[in-house]
Amino acid sequence: MRALMLLLFTALIVPSLTGCGYNTIQKNDEAVIAAWGNVEAAYQRRNDLIPNLVETVKAYAAHEKETLTAVVEARSKASQMTIDPVQLGNPEVMQQFQAAQGGLSSALSRLMVVVERYPDLKANQNFLDLQHQLEGTENRINVARVRYNEAVQIFNTSIRTFPNNLTNNFLLKLDRKEPFKAEAGAEKAPTVKF
């Protein structure tokens, strides 16, 4: 009788464990970490390109030292700010990371204004190639951010829906991950003046 009860218990409990979401949550957590790695790789590509861009611009616009210095400093600050995958649930850390990357984007925008003032620089093939690489990199960063946010959404949903929420609450205790958010003022269209 006892063996029959154990067999019946096993037959009922084991199949229910396969639907507890443990593996799904783990898979989704790994997807978030992988997507974050892609975001970091895209930012690293940008950081690697910037010294070449700055050196090219320096050759043509040596008297615009202030702008070039701002780009170099922003790159340095942005490259020093890293996030460990464990910190992906911390909104303050994500905000600091986004602020550092936003500072670099702003400095690069100012550099592009300098470029507009120097027609010889715009015509330089090396600069044009670097500019295209930088534009492509910014697009890659955006794609990586979108994919990261999609992975975060899937993960956050998986730990909040039944029965996975029980598995997470009692076994894993994983926190929600923070998605990328738009910078303050991003909802306003930029003013273009000619």
Per-residue pLDDT tens over the stretch 158-173: 999 999 999 999 999 9
Q: How far, in Å, CA of 110 to CA of 98, rounded?
A: 18
Using alpha carbons, list the distances in angstroms from residue 117 to 55, 61, 121. Answer: 17, 9, 9
Q: Are 177 and 89 in contact (CB under 8 A)?
A: yes
The confidence band for 104, taking pLDDT boundaries of 50, 70 and 90, is confident
Residue with tokens 């790789």: 41
Q: Are 145 and 137 in contact (CB under 8 A)?
A: no
The confidence band for 140, taking pLDDT boundaries of 50, 70 and 90, is very high
pLDDT, average across residues 48-70: 74
**Residue bearing the bigger pLDDT, 4 or 98:** 98
**Residue bearing the bigger pLDDT, 29 or 105:** 29
pLDDT at residue 157 in the model: 96
Give yes or no for residue 77 having a pLDDT over 50: yes
**Residue bearing the bigger pLDDT, 147 or 120:** 147
Q: How far, in Å, CA of 51 to CA of 56, rounded?
A: 9
pLDDT at residue 168 in the model: 92
The confidence band for 54, taking pLDDT boundaries of 50, 70 and 90, is confident
The token pair that represents 91 in the structure block: 């909104």
The confidence band for 63, taking pLDDT boundaries of 50, 70 and 90, is low
Residue with tokens 């003013």: 191
User: Inter-axis angle of helices 91-117 and 22-60, to 10 degrees?
Assistant: 30
Sign of the alpha-carbon torsion through 191, 50, 135, 184: negative
**Residue bearing the bigger pLDDT, 186 or 111:** 111
The pTM of this model reads 0.70
Q: How far, in Å, CA of 100 to CA of 110, rounded?
A: 16
82: nearest Cα among 103, 98, 102, 105: 98
**Residue bearing the bigger pLDDT, 71 or 92:** 92
3-state secondary structure of 73: helix
Note the helical H segments in 83-179. Answer: 91-117, 119-123, 125-160, 164-167
pLDDT at residue 183 in the model: 75
Using alpha carbons, list the distances in angstroms from residue 19 to 16, 109, 154. Answer: 6, 50, 17
Q: Mean of the per-residue pLDDT values for the chain?
A: 82
The confidence band for 111, taking pLDDT boundaries of 50, 70 and 90, is confident
pLDDT at residue 192 in the model: 45
